[in-house]
């Protein structure tokens, strides 16, 4: 490991340089430590390492140099003391809950969460006696009112999928501190390049590394970032025993992804802003949801707590489902897939895909109409993205 890095470096530098792993071969680009276990020179050395009295790796479910490099670099970017990498974004949410909560505890979560997170809370975590209440994410009084004596965790995703609604992280952190509960922010949509929840007072950040951190749609992975005690000890201890750990190969892909994250996120933002402004002028488009538009109801909050508006744009077509499907089916370049955070622009119809399994009433309450389309804007020339969408808008 090249130990030298300065936590005060800018985000581009941290992404490229922080915690660069280096073996005695002094390779310039990180190598992958693809091994499940590590050998010892003697029984006594094995004992010392197992006891934690001597440094060294034992087994890749516990620690692995490539995974560790990814964890240290992401922790540096988020401004956290510790990071634990996980097999997926969902494994990160699961690990946080199982490591820190117990039977009888309660979660308050925003109602615009990623669908699998809602299923996890309602159908898995609930079976272990941890209930979840949902509140409108922008309504601070509702968060406050939903906190019970047994509440331990506030969980929020901002901006939300697919409507790009925002929660005020600093205000939620203030509530969390005052009421003695933790605040966890799923920072998948913005990454530390555009938003640093820990610096706004949150206790934990969750990532699906599958999205922008990979950035090219190759690997599934996730991470939890936070303090040395809760994350460095409790979540790490859970991971070591329960095992939803990240593969070293995936960690290497994500480590490489962090090197270009700052450049890519700014390019995603620029393309998304241009596309949102163009969509806003199209007669077939009733409404565009993008925090970078002055018409977004939380545009000022977005300017305050984010350093960019992100790569996700959603919009409503006046023609309902028929118009939305026609637009999607008219594309030739844009990919019809629910993934996001890829170099390639993706398009999806939330009402029949990502949000298709919730009841029509719940969908309506969440503001997800039949005419809504979500575009995760990629890194192609924005003129080509516009041209591909224009065909289905006329
Ligand atoms: C994709 C996603 C997840 C889950 O991550 P996986 O890597 O697919 O398990 C969680 N939260 C958000 C906001 C996501 O977009």
Q: What is the pLDDT of residues 149-184, one digit of tens each?
A: 999 999 999 999 999 999 999 999 999 999 999 999
Half-sphere exposure of 183 (CA within 13 A, CB side): 27
Query: Both 108 and 159 in a single domain?
Result: yes
Q: Could you tell me the pTM of the whole model?
A: 0.95
β-sheet bridge partners, residue 224: 84, 206
User: What is the CB neighbour count within 10 angstroms for residue 41?
Assistant: 7
Last residue of a domain, one of 232, 259, 286: 259
Whether the pLDDT of residue 4 is over 80: the answer is no
**Mean pLDDT on 257-264:** 98
Last residue of a domain, one of 259, 283, 311: 259
% of the chain exceeding 90 in pLDDT: 88
Measured between alpha carbons, how far is 341 from 338 in angstroms, rounded to an integer? 10
**Mean pLDDT on 273-282:** 98
- Report the pLDDT value the prediction gives residue 51, as an integer from 0 to 100: 92
Q: Is the CB of 210 under 6 A from ligand 1?
A: yes
Measured between alpha carbons, how far is 151 from 112 in angstroms, rounded to an integer? 19
- Report the pLDDT value the prediction gives residue 365, as an integer from 0 to 100: 78
Q: Is the CB of 112 under 6 A from ligand 1?
A: no
**Mean pLDDT on 184-206:** 98
How would you classify residue 320: left for phi > 0, otherwise alpha for psi between -120 and 50, otherwise beta?
left
Last residue of a domain, one of 259, 294, 316: 259
- Report the pLDDT value the prediction gives residue 326, as an integer from 0 to 100: 97
Tell me the three state secondary structure of residue 129: coil
Whether the pLDDT of residue 246 is over 80: the answer is yes
Mean pLDDT of the chain: 95
Query: Both 249 and 289 in a single domain?
Result: no
CA of 191 to the centre of ligand 1 (A): 12
Mutate to test the pocket of ligand 1, among 85, 87, 89 (most ligand atoms within 8 A of CB): 89
- Asked if residue 140 is part of any domain, the answer here is yes
Q: Which two tokens stand for residue 111?
A: 């109602």
Whether the pLDDT of residue 2 is over 80: the answer is no
Residues 6+ apart with CB under 8 A from 90: 116, 117, 120, 208, 222
User: What is the per-residue pLDDT across 350-381, written as a single tens digit (0 to 9) for each?
Assistant: 999 988 877 888 788 788 999 999 999 999 99
- Asked if residue 5 is part of any domain, the answer here is no
Query: What is the DSSP secondary structure assignment for residue 282, as one 8-state letter?
Result: -
Query: Both 92 and 49 in a single domain?
Result: yes
Whether the pLDDT of residue 386 is over 90: the answer is yes
Q: Is the CB of 293 under 6 A from ligand 1?
A: no
Q: Ligand 1, residue 340: give the atom nearest the CA.
A: 15
- Asked if residue 239 is part of any domain, the answer here is yes
| Total count of domains within the chain | 2
Measured between alpha carbons, how far is 369 from 316 in angstroms, rounded to an integer? 8
208: part of which helix (H) or strand (E)? strand 204-208
Mutate to test the pocket of ligand 1, among 210, 251, 346 (most ligand atoms within 8 A of CB): 210
How would you classify residue 130: left for phi > 0, otherwise alpha for psi between -120 and 50, otherwise beta?
beta
Confidence bin at 1 (pLDDT 50/70/90):
low
Query: Both 108 and 249 in a single domain?
Result: yes
Q: Ligand 1, residue 210: give the atom nearest the CA.
A: 7
Q: Is the CB of 157 under 6 A from ligand 1?
A: yes
% of the chain exceeding 70 in pLDDT: 99
- Report the pLDDT value the prediction gives residue 117, as an integer from 0 to 100: 93
Query: Both 252 and 363 in a single domain?
Result: no
Query: Both 155 and 295 in a single domain?
Result: no
Q: Ligand 1, residue 90: give the atom nearest the CA.
A: 9
CA of 208 to the centre of ligand 1 (A): 5
Q: Is the CB of 207 under 6 A from ligand 1?
A: no
Radius of gyration, CA atoms only, the chain: 21
Range of the domain at 236: 11-259
CA of 152 to the centre of ligand 1 (A): 22
Confidence bin at 252 (pLDDT 50/70/90):
very high
Query: Both 249 and 268 in a single domain?
Result: no
CA of 114 to the centre of ligand 1 (A): 7
Measured between alpha carbons, how far is 257 from 326 in angstroms, rounded to an integer? 34
- The CATH number linked to 208 is 3.40.640.10
- Asked if residue 196 is part of any domain, the answer here is yes
Whether the pLDDT of residue 3 is over 90: the answer is no
- Report the pLDDT value the prediction gives residue 372, as an integer from 0 to 100: 97
Whether the pLDDT of residue 71 is over 60: the answer is yes
- CA dihedral of 383, 386, 390, 392, whole degrees rounded to 10: 140
């Amino acid at each position: 490991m090249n130990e030298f890095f300065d936590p005060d470096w800018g985000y581009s530098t941290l992404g490229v340089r922080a915690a660069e792993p280096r073996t005695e071969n002094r390779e310039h680009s990180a190598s992958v430590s693809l091994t499940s276990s590590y050998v010892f020179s003697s029984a006594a050395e094995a004992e010392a390492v197992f006891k934690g009295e001597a440094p060294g790796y034992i087994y890749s479910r516990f620690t692995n140099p490539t995974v560790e490099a990814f964890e240290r670099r992401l922790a540096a970017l988020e401004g956290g003391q510790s990071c634990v990498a996980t097999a997926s974004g969902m494994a990160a949410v699961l690990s946080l809950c199982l490591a820190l909560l117990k039977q009888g505890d309660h979660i308050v979560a925003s109602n615009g969460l990623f669908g699998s997170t809602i299923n996890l809370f309602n159908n898995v975590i609930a079976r272990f006696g941890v209930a979840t209440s949902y509140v409108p994410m922008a309504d601070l009084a509702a968060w406050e009112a939903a906190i019970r004596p047994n509440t331990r965790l506030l969980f929020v995703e901002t901006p939300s999928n697919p409507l790009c609604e925002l929660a005020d992280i600093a205000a939620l952190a203030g509530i969390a501190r005052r009421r003695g509960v933790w605040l966890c922010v799923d920072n998948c949509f913005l990454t530390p390049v555009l938003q640093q929840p820990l610096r706004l007072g949150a206790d934990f950040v969750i990532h699906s590394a599958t999205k922008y951190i990979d950035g090219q749609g190759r690997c599934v992975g996730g991470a939890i970032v936070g303090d040395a005690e809760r994350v460095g000890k409790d979540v790490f201890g859970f991971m070591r025993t329960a095992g939803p750990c990240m593969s070293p190969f995936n960690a290497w892909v994500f480590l490489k992804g962090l090197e270009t994250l700052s450049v890519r996120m700014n390019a995603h933002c620029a393309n998304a802003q241009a596309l949102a402004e163009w969509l806003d002028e199209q007669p077939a488009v009733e409404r565009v949801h993008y925090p970078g538009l002055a018409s977004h109801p939380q545009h000022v909050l977005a300017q305050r707590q984010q350093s960019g508006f992100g790569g996700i744009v959603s919009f409503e077509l006046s023609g309902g489902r028929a118009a939305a499907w026609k637009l999607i089916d008219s594309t030739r370049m844009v990919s019809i897939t629910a993934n996001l955070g890829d170099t390639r622009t993706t398009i999806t119809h939330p009402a029949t895909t990502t949000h298709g399994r919730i009841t029509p009433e719940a969908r309506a309450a969440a503001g997800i109409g039949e005419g809504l389309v979500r575009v995760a804007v990629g890194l192609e020339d924005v003129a080509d993205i516009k041209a591909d969408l224009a065909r289905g808008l006329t």
